[in-house]
A and B are shown apart, each in its own frame.
Chain A
């Protein structure tokens, strides 16, 4: 297996370098310095800024420099806009994103798979039809509508009209942080050595986005898993299991689920890299300083160091996920051989 993994990594190196090349080249189609300096800049200032950013060097030199930094995991280059080291920016943006995307993924996958199984087992009946109508309805409404309604009813109305403030309209406080920093706060926290976990911060700032994320994603996922399960439910081994007198519960959760693992793994693994990039909309509206927000701000302000580093990081995660998916296939299905 390790030989396979190493071989795949080696095969992916040119792809990875190609992605970085394309992104860097595309970023440089238009000169970012004009927008950076604004309307008052003289040609001399534009030229000096170009030199300071290293944009006056040949493209291939800029490319080689960046690849060398990536190879050494050196993300110390500073953001043009924020002047902070890019590595530090990415490191601080990942946890808030993960506190939203990971619970969303787990909840969505669990609930959707369960509903998919129930629907397939009750195919064509009122329960299946009702759940599918709800799924289509859920898919048909824009994410933005859920966010705006969620903020209004889930945070504003609940707080104003009912005096309940489980969720904040907007904002973020660290869910996991250094013990030293948490000691001054009034929130209740749990010790994790030098670190502390503050569950109320998660409830206040992350839970509403998670609920919205689950509602939005469930429509798509439920339909997908239902289709997978329906296909599985027509297989011979299900008929055999029924003939042998297996209970519906056992057929659903043992036989069907086990055999449907390949499409489930594929679906979940595709989602994994996006756990890092997060949801731009949710982060923008809820003011969560996550990766999605960092990336979109960097793109709109043409902050090349941040965009390049994020793309390099994201491309690396995608490649690792693809390899991990292959490995998981072999683990859950003995018919798959890694060679």
Chain B
């Protein structure tokens, strides 16, 4: 009785409640993991070794586990910020020598066992950066990305040639341009000041990897990533799925501050988690979708966070007339986001070709006539639901040097058949008389045959006939590289958001098989290009960009241009999502609200 009385006393009740709470807490299951499911709209990455990567999908996967010195900003992808660095690199000599300082305590983590002298982790040091860049020069790593650093760093080209000519590639051999100060600080000396160098350091191929892992795993390193990124690999079944878990030793990284977000982004409440530590989710599960139908259905079933809107599904999501999200989607809480791509889609001329090439007024007149005969808006309406952006010049929208409203007075943008016919007379081919069919090379995939039909019809209006060669991609590149294609269909997607990247396509030292597939050669253009390489962004540089753009428009080494706009739909349970292409390290900022998931 006394014992019961004691239990019923106030103290007893309090103790009982406290004990109950403790027991309840102990018995409660561990906090549920936040898992994010995302699509990869293809068969996924080919390799998880950054140095072997080149595709968007390699990028998407690698940057979850690896990090670069600099990274595009999530709130403003057209600028960059330090990622592995303490602060942005500095230069005291106008951009020739760059000083870098690594963040303190950034650690590699190996989920594949202790490879760092019996441990799973090691702090990154300056030598890791040099080693990672040297890997790009090693022919055993395919040299796919050598173009990023070729002719950039002092002594690096010589190092690359010497080491690849030798029997074994010596990673300990010095490079004149790599100067170590201590484990956290180092300098890179460029062969000449090049503004784009810092953009290159944002690209995933320059990610920092540990030498121990490369040497321990050999060829399997592509399957066993060891990086400093926010996630670590759990499982990768090529062409099927890839899952990553939170990196247990990931340093303190925070969500962008409120002030960094634009008004539009704040309206979409992207600023809400400002200052919170990332990553928010414990695990990301990527599924590869080779076909669009299952990806679309999985999105509609709420099983993946977002989806690109495939062309054939556009009308299911948007009103084709107003381009507004359909009310039924909006009522489900689905959000839409449009992403303008840095595209340069064109039909190029080989300027070395005897018929369509050349720089005399007569030679230019033929190309100008063809450009005037083409109606790119009709292409846009017919093949892209009018969603693409048609513009003048080689500089995509949103970049310095892009003409106002996309139109430049220097352009020979069609359709203007009257002027086109006059130009044909100037070229010496009135109504196409005396002009043999011109070989036109295009990739045979997708709707290329239909696009070619339309191009033939449009050019036939001024008497230009095409001898169409629809070939596979490899053959197309081979013909263009060997300067055997008088006209060819190609596209360029900017590697970084600076028009310099596009203007390089017309720089004569880059002629085929380099990226100047037009084989465009003008000494005055080259001089301007060399000038802009060392200039920092500003009105002076933009003025030169515009001059170069108009020079190209006058010479018409291509017919164009067009850029795509990609549309995304985001399920209501996926938070903080601003789909951004070109860089993919923003997945660490994503969060999920499981309460909003269907079922």
Contacts and interface: CB of A to CB of B under 8 A. Distances in A.
Contacts of B140: 52
B241 A171 contact: yes
Contacts of B481: 34
Interface in A159-174: 159-160, 163, 169-172
A35 B287 contact: no
Contacts of B142: 37, 49, 52
Interface string A170-185: 1110000000000000
B164 A34 contact: no
Nearest to A53: B142
Contacts, number: 118
Given A40-B147, A48-B139, A83-B222, A34 B289 contact: no
A34 B144 CA distance: 11
A46 interface: yes
Given A34-B481, A49-B143, A84-B238, A302 B290 contact: no
Contact of B297 (A45, A52, A81, A156): A156
B294 interface: yes
A40 B515 contact: yes
Interface string A201-241: 00000000000000000000000000000000000000000
B265 interface: no
A148 B294 CA distance: 8
A335 interface: no
A112 B552 CA distance: 67
Nearest to B491: A39
A35 B477 contact: yes
A284 B290 contact: yes
Contacts of A170: 287, 289, 294-295, 297-298
A279 interface: no
B294 A286 contact: yes
B599 interface: yes
A244 B599 CA distance: 65
B288 A31 contact: no
A39 B490 contact: yes
Contacts of A37: 142-144
A285 B291 contact: yes
A321 B147 CA distance: 50
Interface in A121-169: 147-148, 151-152, 155-156, 159-160, 163, 169
Nearest to B445: A300
Interface in B135-178: 139-140, 142-144, 146-147, 150, 164
A294 B492 CA distance: 29
Given A32-B474, A83-B47, A151-B294, A289 B287 contact: no
Contacts of A147: 293
A287 interface: yes
B472 interface: yes
A43 interface: yes
B301 interface: yes
Contacts of B219: 78, 83
Contacts of B514: 40, 42
A34 B474 contact: yes
Given A32-B474, A45-B143, A170-B289, A39 B298 contact: no
B534 interface: no
Interface residues of B, number: 50
Contacts of B473: 35
Contacts of A40: 147, 514-515
B588 interface: no
B144 A38 contact: yes
Contacts of B164: 48
B340 interface: no
Contacts of B139: 48, 52
Interface in A49-76: 49, 52
Nearest to B482: A34
Contacts of A81: 46
Interface string B27-46: 00000000000000001001
B517 A39 contact: yes
A339 interface: no
Nearest to A170: B294
Interface string A77-90: 01001111000000
B502 to A, nearest CB: 13
B257 interface: no
B469 to A, nearest CB: 13
Interface in A283-338: 284-287, 289, 293-294, 297, 302
Contacts of B288: 287
B293 A151 contact: yes
B240 interface: yes
B147 A156 contact: no
Nearest to A37: B144
B297 A151 contact: yes
A270 interface: no
B300 interface: yes
Contacts of B290: 284, 287, 293
B477 A34 contact: yes
B75 to A, nearest CB: 30
Q: Which residue, of A39, A294, A302, has the highest number of chain B Cβ atoms within 10 A?
A: A39
Nearest to B290: A284
B90 interface: no
B513 A287 contact: no
A38 B298 CA distance: 32
B101 to A, nearest CB: 31
A41 interface: yes
Interface in A1-46: 30-32, 34-43, 45-46
B439 interface: no
Contacts of B294: 151, 169-170, 285-287
Given A34-B474, A46-B513, A285-B293, 11 more contacts: A35-B477, A39-B490, A48-B143, A48-B164, A52-B139, A83-B47, A151-B294, A160-B301, A285-B291, A286-B294, A287-B290
CB-based closest 10 A-B pairs: A35-B474, A170-B294, A34-B477, A40-B147, A156-B297, A45-B143, A34-B478, A289-B240, A48-B139, A169-B297
12 contacts: A34-B481, A35-B474, A37-B142, A39-B490, A40-B514, A40-B515, A42-B514, A48-B164, A49-B143, A52-B140, A82-B47, A285-B291
Interface of A: 30-32, 34-43, 45-46, 48-49, 52, 78, 81-84, 147-148, 151-152, 155-156, 159-160, 163, 169-172, 284-287, 289, 293-294, 297, 302
